[in-house]
Structure 1
Amino acid sequence: MAMKNMDRRSAVALGLLPVLTPAVLRPAAAQTSDEEAVRAAVAAYYAAFSSRDLKAMEVLWAHTAAVTAIHPFSQTPLFGWQAVRRSYEETFARFADVSISTAEPHIAAHQGVAWVVGTETLRGHRPGGEAMANSSIATNILEKQGDRWLMVLHHASGTPRH
């Protein structure tokens, strides 16, 4: 299967980009720089979420019809920046306070696309004071636009409870 027969976003979503792209590696310094920038962008995402800051979210996400979010509570995927933005408004309204973090995410960046995979931990309180804690397995995909890494997909699925 050649890369020209599949668009880049589809290849990323399927996890095939490393397989379908030529085996030309960038210098280690450039790769490290991209990974550090991606790590900073994802940290900014979690900070914006934890402070329920929609303005910060707006800066961190691409504003296209292609951006996608699937939250642990989602019934269907959300497509387009306006739908994703509304989902964060609704999520933030469900909490009096919230914090979300990920420990030791796996980060890979290649040809202007980065994917970050890890386990998220969300803790917070509902407006009535009820405590809530949840763990999810998450994937964040970012695209490099100019000199910035912008979120184009956030997918978090709840982890099974035993």
Structure 2
Amino acid sequence: MSKPTFTTALEAEAAFYRALAEGDIEALMAVWSEEEDVVCVHPGGPRIVGLAAIRDTWRQILSGGNRLQIETSQPVITASAAMAMHCVFERVGLQSREQRSALLAVTNVYVRGASGWHMVLHHASPVPDLPDFGELSPRIVH
């Protein structure tokens, strides 16, 4: 299977969330850059570096046919010709359950290379339980 060419960072991000919803580890990993210095931090977890280690953690998360249902909101996007940073809020749940997790603050970073746009960082952290936290978060990018 050849690796897809994502023509924009938004296209790569859509493929990332679609792969999570479908529980498709191969499609998920196709979004990641093939560089070994890629980084992933799951909520409350350690920093994971390298494709093999990242694949293993996603495989564990998606094991047993788990499919994640993720709702993103309030995107803040900063981009240049070669790099894009997408900061979003996520609510994550399993498709088999109605309950959603706490709010997560997520940063996804994409780099454009010869084969298109690919993820180099996914970092998700729990958001403190503050009233209207999203409204307190400025949308201004310096």
The bucket for the TM-score relative to the shorter chain is: 0.7 to 0.9
The answer for unaligned runs of 5 or more in structure 1 is: 1-35
More contact order relative to length (CA 8 Å, sep ≥ 6): 2
Residue of structure 1 aligned with 2:15, choices 29, 37, 44: 44
Amino acid at match of 1:89: R
Change (3 A) 1:130 1:118: closer
Which portions of structure 1, spanning 4 or more consecutive aligned residues, are displaced by more than 4 angstroms? 129-132
Amino acid at match of 2:28: M
TM (norm. structure 1) is 0.68
**Residues 1:148 and 2:116 aligned together:** yes
Root-mean-square deviation (CA, aligned residues, Å) is 2.2
SS in 2 for 1:134: coil
Deviations 1:54-96 (A, max 9, x none): 110121001222000001031x200001111111011112774
Residue of structure 1 aligned with 2:103, choices 107, 112, 135: 135
Bigger Rg over Cα = 1
Identity %: 27
Deviations 1:107-144 (A, max 9, x none): 12114011000101101167xx6845232001011100
Q: Where do residues 84-103 of structure 1 align in structure 2 (5 Å cutoff)? A: 84-93=54-63, 96-103=66-73
- Alpha-carbon contact 1:124-1:133 (below 8 Å) kept: no
Q: Where do residues 1-162 of structure 1 align in structure 2 (5 Å cutoff)? A: 37-74=8-45, 76-93=46-63, 96-124=66-94, 131-161=99-129
TM (norm. structure 2) is 0.77
Number of residue pairs the alignment of both structures matches: 124
Amino acid at match of 1:73: G
Deviations 1:1-25 (A, max 9, x none): xxxxxxxxxxxxxxxxxxxxxxxxx
Distance 2:17 2:77 in 1: 15
- Alpha-carbon contact 2:105-2:127 (below 8 Å) kept: yes
The answer for unaligned runs of 5 or more in structure 2 is: 1-6, 131-142
SS in 2 for 1:89: helix
Structure with more helix by fraction: 1
